Amino acid sequence: MAEEFDIQSVWKKSKEKGANDSLLINTLERKGTRTTLYWIKTILWIEFWLSIVGAPIMLWYLDDKGDSFWFTILYIVITIIYLVYYQFLIRKINEFRYDGNVVHSLKKVYGYLWFYLLHYKVVIWASMIFGLIYGFIAPENQEGLSKLETTNQWLIAIGISTFIVLVIGGIMHFLVHLIYGRKIKRLRRMVKDLENQE
């Protein structure tokens, strides 16, 4: 892609010379703002800070809504895990070096990011399914659900709810693919191209 600085070109030139060209590597590191890894790292930082800023707002909302103590604790624990996870991925991207085994290093980073993308998508759909089920068993919704008297009414309610969940989940899935998926696929192509050239 045009916006990427050519990692493959640096690797090829270094390989042709039989040793890493430090001038070439320094140039690549200075131009790092144009690499796919840079943009993935930037998005991870944005998500990290959004999680930190959003945590107090979410805690206030949970307290105002009167949700259980354990649900609040669960939210705090999950948020901390995500913050640590973001930092782990950012650190792994930072550890990528142009002066070492580029193929191995890039493949390793790609593996972490691919797992993150897969996990992200699983969490989206698991959350959607949990929300759908919880919507039908939540005590605050029982009054409205009690008005559903016939099987057809229940089927319509379930059908509409499922459709809404599929639409929202699909939109979120698409956005995650737009933000991360294309960039991670680009890394996979680069890894395969470099492996083929070895």
Tell me the H-state helices in the chain: 7-17, 22-30, 36-65, 69-94, 102-137, 142-145, 151-176, 182-197
pLDDT digits (tens, 9 = 90+) for 69-92: 777 888 888 889 989 999 999 998
With 50 as the cut, is the pLDDT of residue 3 above it? Answer: no
Please check whether residue 60 is in contact with residue 112, taking contact to mean a CB–CB distance below 8 angstroms: no
Q: What is the residue whose two structure tokens read 């009690």?
A: 146
- pLDDT attached to residue 167: 94
pLDDT digits (tens, 9 = 90+) for 31-40: 443 477 888 8
- pLDDT attached to residue 163: 92
For the chain, the domains span 7-197
CA–CA dist 140, 145 (Å, integer): 10
- CA torsion 144-138-128-165 (nearest 10°) is 0
Long-range contacts of 141-145 (CB under 8 A, 24+ apart): none
